[in-house]
Each structure stands twice: as C-alpha cells, then as structure tokens.
A and B are shown apart, each in its own frame.
Chain A
Amino acid sequence: MAIDNEFYYTPSIVANKHKLQHVQDVASLVLGVASGIMSLESINGFVFYFIGITLTNLLFYIICTEQQPYKFFKNPLHEIFIKDLFNNISGYIMMWCLIYALVKTNS
C-alpha cells in the first residue's frame, strides 16, 4: 500500500519526534557518564560518542520503528541518524566533563 506524503498527521509526527529526542537525550547523558567513568580523553571521547549514539539510533530504528520508519517519520534516515547528532553532543560533553572531573580528582 502506497502511503502518500499528504496523509501524515502532523501531531503524530511531532510526538514521534519527541520520542526519538527523548531516547537520544537519555543516550547522550548515559554515554557521557560512561565515558567519564572510563576517563576517555580528547578524540577518543568524541569517537565514543559518535559510535554510541549511532548504535542507539540503530537500535531505535530496528526496535521502535519495527524497520518500517516511513510509517512514523517523513524523512527517517536523515531524522534518526544525522539531524540531531551535533545538537545532542552538548549534553554528552557536560556529563563527560562532570564525571571526568569527579573521577580524576578522587584518584
């Protein structure tokens, strides 16, 4: 069955985006805590973030959208994997710095 672009119900699309955003928020904070505990430094930390967040997005793609993301998003690949990559990094950096500082000053 072909679903036309015009048949998207906007509030549902917005709600889906919020769910994705929620998942990504939690993921970036948790990744920040993890990399702080491992005390990753400079480029390693950023590589860890990109790998981790892409993995999370992949899981979201497979589990939450049941591999049929066109049902839930207008432009799924871009919206799930690329769009918020750099918006979410700020939360990651904050948790990373905080936990890193806590871990480092304790030892």
Chain B
Amino acid sequence: MFTPDLLLDLQLKYWVLLPISLAMVLVGLLRSNITYLLQPNPKLQPYKQVRESQFLFKAKQFRENNDILTTEEFEMRKNYYIKTLKSDEFYASKPNVAKTDEFSPLDPTQNEALMSMAKSNLLNYIPQTLIMGWVNYFFAGFVIMKLPFALTDGFKAMLQNGIDTPNLNVRYVSSISWYFVNLFGLKPIYSLIMGNDEAEELIKQQNQNQMPQLSGPGQPKIDKIFNNEAENIQILTHESTFDKIIERFIEKYQ
C-alpha cells in the first residue's frame, strides 16, 4: 500500500451504507408493485378471432400428435381438417374484405403495446437515475468504505468521484461505488423477497404464449395460413402407435 490506512468513522455505516441499501431495496419493491398495478387487463378478443386461432391450434395439435390415432380415425380427421381449412367457415373476417389493412402507428392495439413497453422502460430508468442523483448529491465528497478487493487505477475516477486525492488507494471508495455494487448485487435479494410470485407468473405467461397470435401487423393473411396448414396436413405420413403393438409388447416383456 502506498498510503497509510485511513481510519473510517464508525457512524458511516449506520448513516450511509445501510440507508443506501435500504432505499434501493424499497424502491425496487415499489417499482415491481407499480409495474404490477400498471399492467393493463387483457382485453377480450372478438369471439370470431378466438375461434379462428383456436381452430388453427387444433389443426396443429392434430398434425403433431396424429400417431395416437388409428388409421381409420386419422383418415376421417384428415379429410375433415383439409375440407374445413380450405373453406372459409372459421375465418374471423372474409379475406376479400380485410385486404386493405396495413400497419399504421395509430392502430389502437399497436398503440397499447407500445405504451406498455414505454411505461416499463420509464419505470426502469426513472428510479435508477433518481437514486443515483440522490446518492451523488447527498453523500458526495467523502470516503465511505474500503472494498475487500483491489481494482486497477482505471476505476479511480469513477469510484472515488468527488475526492480529489491523487494518491489514495483505489480500495477506498465513495458512496457512488456502493450504489453500483448495490445496483448489480440486489438481484438475489429481490428474487428472495418476491421469488414465488414471479415464478408463477412466468409459468402463466408460458401457458398464454402457446396460443398462436394472428393479429400482428407483419403476419401473413389468414387464408394463406389456413391453406398452408391444409397442405401440411395433406402430406402427413401417418404411423399409428397401435400398429404392431402386440408384437412390441411381447418382445419387451419376454
């Protein structure tokens, strides 16, 4: 060490370290609660659209899991799906009517998604900058702690912000670096405090995501998708699990 050890005031930890941590934890909790409150309730879709996507989903399920059907059942369902997919029975709106809808920024559904994205982004940035400003303004100009590990001199300007002592050991840092350590390190504490709910929400989201979304702007027209699906079903090669099941069973347990 090229400077003698500094003696730090005992009161620093009660009045600087712990308050900063506490404030950051509380603000994090507040933020997550506010995001929860600001989440828009999912709007009900018109029933025809739901029916359309559900039917497509059903056809997909048939295509992927067709091996549990016997050949006879398979043929029956295949014919039904091809016929229905090619007719316009399940279309939400007739294809020739809906030809002129292009992506417009004023479309209400689009706007809503953009708004919620902007909100969550704002909620991420505003509290962080506020706390950083608070820490910088309130606890400026003194060393608050000694880090247990040494950093290179390159970090000096950032971590010893506001202390104009050129030869001070980099391990002595000011409040802003404690803010940064907290910023990255509080993640496990948040997840311990509100871990369970988050996990449940994730699972819920996953279940919702399985529904195919058809209303996005870049999506191809619904009749194209339906025709595609019909073609996919047409070229299916069917192989039932029940074929030769007796032989396989006997072979396995002999």
Contacts and interface: CB of A to CB of B under 8 A. Distances in A.
B185 A101 contact: no
Contacts of B203: 11, 14-15
Given A11-B206, A105-B10, A88 B148 contact: no
- What interface size band does chain B fall in? 20 to 34
B181 A14 contact: no
A21 B187 CA distance: 11
Contact of B181 (A28, A93, A102, A106): A93
Interface string A70-99: 000000000000000000101111111110
Contacts of B12: 105
Main secondary structure on chain A at its contact with chain B?
helix
Contacts of B105: none
A101 B146 contact: yes
Contacts of B206: 10-11, 14
B184 interface: yes
A71 B15 CA distance: 50
Interface residues of A, number: 36
A92 to B, nearest CB: 8
Contacts of A10: 206
Interface string A10-24: 110011001001100
B13 A41 contact: no
20 contacts: A11-B203, A11-B206, A14-B202, A21-B191, A22-B195, A26-B188, A29-B192, A36-B148, A39-B148, A40-B148, A41-B149, A45-B148, A90-B181, A90-B185, A91-B186, A94-B182, A101-B145, A102-B13, A102-B17, A105-B8
Interface of B: 8-10, 12-13, 17, 21, 145-150, 178, 181-182, 184-189, 191-192, 195, 198-199, 202-203, 206-207
